[in-house]
Amino acid sequence: MSTTEINIPIHDAAPASSTKLKLGSLTALVVGSMVGSGVFSLPQNMAAGSGPLAILIGWAITAVGMLALVFVYQSLATRRPELDAGPYAYAKAGFGPFIGFTSAWGYWISAWVGNVSYAVIVFSALSYFFPAFGDGNTWQAVLGASILLWIIHLLVLAGIRIASPKKLWPDDSFCTHVRDLAQHSGGRFRLDEDLASCVEGADFIYTDVWLSMGEDKAGWADRIGLLTPYRVTKDVMASSGNPHVKFMHCLPAFHDTDTEVGAYIAREYGIDCMEVSDEVFESDASIVFDQAEILGIYILVVAQFGSFKLPLVILTPIPLTLIGIMLGHWAFGAPFSATSMIGFIALAGIIVRNSILLVDFIRHTQGTDRPLVEVLLEAGAIRFKPILLTALAAMIGAAVILTDPIFQGLAISLLFGLASSTLLTVLVIPAIYVALRSRRPVEIQPTLTDPDL
């Protein structure tokens, strides 16, 4: 198995500078990262037990952290363009090799722990069929997880081939260093200008965006001219000689002229697509959107609830978001773009958490010998507040990019998808829960709280 990556813009390395980064910039970077990372869990955690004022304060803190992160990265990219390895490079330049090594090692160990944790969850879910796996920590589960991770390792060792104009290559010393690492680990690495030979025999062809957000338009013409011969087309896919080759891409992809940016590129530079042709992007070989880990979410929920049927109830609101998404795009007259699909995928996590809030309450309350419908009504009444606040927080965050020409589709998906799914979640989930949990018609039993008693 091999992977071919093409047309990846790599900026020319600038001469090394002895200038150290200021302590303030790096401190702001660290603090901004810590605060900004909480943006994904703030809505659910705070809405579950906080009032509107606390929510606003929390989002204000998050906004400050995210802005600090953005401004620091922008400043560092402008002042030290040769540092292109992310926080590791900034830590090394600011505090020396030891701190740089610690930063890189910390990232590596977190990725390692993440892979092991995911493997434990997978085998914990499989214990439904194979009890020997237990909670994912038995010797059988450890053995299975080890085999799974070694398979992934062997796939990585299959190597990577990068096709790119030589002008965008990194310096020779860096390439030599990478080849030495590949030789030491048993992997394979190739950097070449010949696109046809690079894709030959490939199992996956991957391309990245040509133009970065905020990049000066003065350099667009040169970049587009260099990378146009490396566009992924039907002929490039055929050059692999593999009828099962798959195409992957880092979104957004400008594969047509339906978006404002795509129309601008066509008007100014005379091309109707950039990284990939529309024919390839919309083909069966494209797995761009299949990269969404919906299956992974399902496995996580199975591990949490110990059931294969209940997660289907929890995941039901995900397709309900399409109702609002389609209506939103129709109202704005906007095409359903790649960023729109990103919004749909991003909604999965938010919607699933909302569903878990509702289903978890139902499961814990149902054991009190109360009528099922009464429990469902109480769950909807009590859990509606955190669900609504979670949705509102995300919708407010998405509203600020509604006018952006690139990410308008993302904003529309988040705004209207959340609106429709939030309203339908509290209605549809109880109905499906009744259908799956009850084997006979449900009757509402009178209780002491009924007004007629």
User: Residue by residue, what is the 3-state secondary structure of 228-244?
Assistant: HHHCECHHHHHHCCCCC
Q: Is residue 332, in this structure, part of any structural domain at all?
A: yes
Of residues 128 and 134, more confidently modeled = 134
Res 451: pLDDT = 39
Residue 21 — pLDDT band, cuts 50, 70, 90? Answer: very low
Residue 390 has pLDDT above 80, yes or no: no
451, part of any domain? no
Residue that has been written with the tokens 């998405």 in this structure: 398
Residue 121 maps to a domain = no
Is the full-model pTM beyond 0.75? no
Please indicate, yes or no, if residue 367 is contained in any of the structural domains.
yes
- Say how many domains are in the chain: 1
Assigned domain for 178 exists: no
pLDDT digits (tens, 9 = 90+) for 284-342: 888 776 655 566 677 777 766 777 777 878 887 777 788 888 888 898 888 887 778 77
Query: Can you give the residue range of the structural domain that contains 426?
Result: 294-437
Is 359 a domain residue?
yes
As given in the structure block, the two tokens for residue 428 are 């549809």
For residues 347-386, one letter each, b for 16 or more C-beta atoms within 10 angstroms of the residue's C-beta and e for the rest, the string is bbebbbbbbbbbbebbbebbeeeeebebbbeebbeebbeb
Residue reference for tokens 């970049």: 223
What CATH number has the domain bearing residue 335?
1.20.1640.10
- Write the CA distances from 103 to 22, 69, 100, 450, integer angstroms: 17, 17, 5, 61
> What percent of the chain has a predicted confidence (pLDDT) above 70?
79
Give the pLDDT confidence of 137-163 residue by residue, as tens digits. Answer: 888 888 888 888 888 888 777 778 888
Q: Flag whether 362 is in a domain.
A: yes
Residue 338 lies in a domain: yes
